[in-house]
Structure 1
Amino acid sequence: MKNETHVKTGILGTKVITQIGILVEDIEKTSQAYADFFGIDKPQWSLTDTVDIAQTEYKGQSSEARAKLAFFDMGSLQLELIEPDQHPSTWRDHLNEHGEGPHHIAFIVDGMKEKIQLLESTHMPLVQKGEYTGGRYAYMDTFKDLKIMFELLENDR
């Protein structure tokens, strides 16, 4: 009986994918291509915060990594385009190793620290984490088992 809740809600406590993150070399060009394809306005990109605000950590070390982000709200799902800078990050490494394309799927969670510990206990380590206005994120290396990285998003109440 004790694992019944775990089976119903899974490790994350949700099965709702909120976002798909896609790595790109040129956010302007790719944003325009998406906007044209879907017949919608091209969103303005924004730059992630500096390390002193974002507290970005990659593989356990502080990182100056920043990225240009563009968001497309597609009904129940958000597409996030990510153009990373040259500093060490999961974005830069993934783009260098695999080229442009899917990087992660994201889920909104409650209890970020607990979810990170739970995933790490199942051999899915924390890769990168940071803060954003209104919350925090964590990229977990779920690739070996699930063939894509998971991003956990926790928004302040």
Structure 2
Amino acid sequence: MEKNVLGTNVIAQIGILVHDIEKTAQVYADFFGVEKPAIELTGTLEEAQTNYNGDSTEARAKLAFFDMGSTQLELIEPDEHPSTWREALDANGEGVHHIAFVIEGMKEKIKVLEANGMPLQQTGEYPGGRYAYIDTVKDLKVLTELLEND
């Protein structure tokens, strides 16, 4: 395997799948003694252009973000449509879904990761950037999310 594939070793985010984001976000807020963040809904198919395992999907998710110093904690409650979030929540239950890194050169990074046996699983757009989930579970024991901001 190539070394320093991502060009960074700084974890920007840890994503956690939950069944009830309102309840879980309040528990985290109370635990950390912070205000509960607003719950956001990911964009529609037209906005997010979500693609899962090579197919377009209407998948959406409710998100809550806790900024915890240099790392962000993301809670994710997926809807019923096919997605990496729905698949993982159904298969494994609540818990850690991914670790995320801010990168540059999304297309090139995906090609390098795929060449190293780490396939692309899901992509999408968000205001100001794009994301990609890479199946690194075999090697890293967790999915990797790439975040590229404009």
Q: Same fold (TM over 0.5)?
A: yes
**1:57-113 per-position Cα deviation (integer Å, ceiling 9, x unaligned):** 000000000000000000010000000000000000000000000000000000000
Instruction: Give me the TM-score of the superposition, normalised by structure 1.
Output: 0.94
Q: Which position in structure 1 is the counterpart of 2:21? A: 27
Instruction: Give me the TM-score of the superposition, normalised by structure 2.
Output: 0.98
Q: Which position in structure 2 is the counterpart of 1:128? A: 122
Residue 55 of structure 1, CA deviation: 0.3
Residue 131 of structure 1, CA deviation: 0.2
| Residue ranges of structure 1 left out of the alignment (5+ in a row) | 1-5
Q: Which position in structure 2 is the counterpart of 1:111? A: 105
- Distance in structure 2 (CA, Å) of the matches to 1:150 and 1:15: 12
Q: Which position in structure 1 is the counterpart of 2:51? A: 57
Q: Which position in structure 2 is the counterpart of 1:3? A: none
In the TM superposition, structure 1's runs of 4+ consecutive aligned residues that sit over 3 Å from their partners are: none
Secondary structure of the corresponding residue to residue 101 of structure 2: strand
Q: Share of identical aligned residues, percent? A: 69
- Distance in structure 1 (CA, Å) of the matches to 2:45 and 2:120: 18
Higher Cα Rg: structure 1 or 2? 1
Secondary structure of the corresponding residue to residue 42 of structure 1: coil
Residue 29 of structure 1, CA deviation: 0.3
Secondary structure of the corresponding residue to residue 87 of structure 2: helix
**1:17-55 per-position Cα deviation (integer Å, ceiling 9, x unaligned):** 000000000000000000000000000110000001100
| Residue ranges of structure 2 left out of the alignment (5+ in a row) | none
Q: Which position in structure 2 is the counterpart of 1:96? A: 90
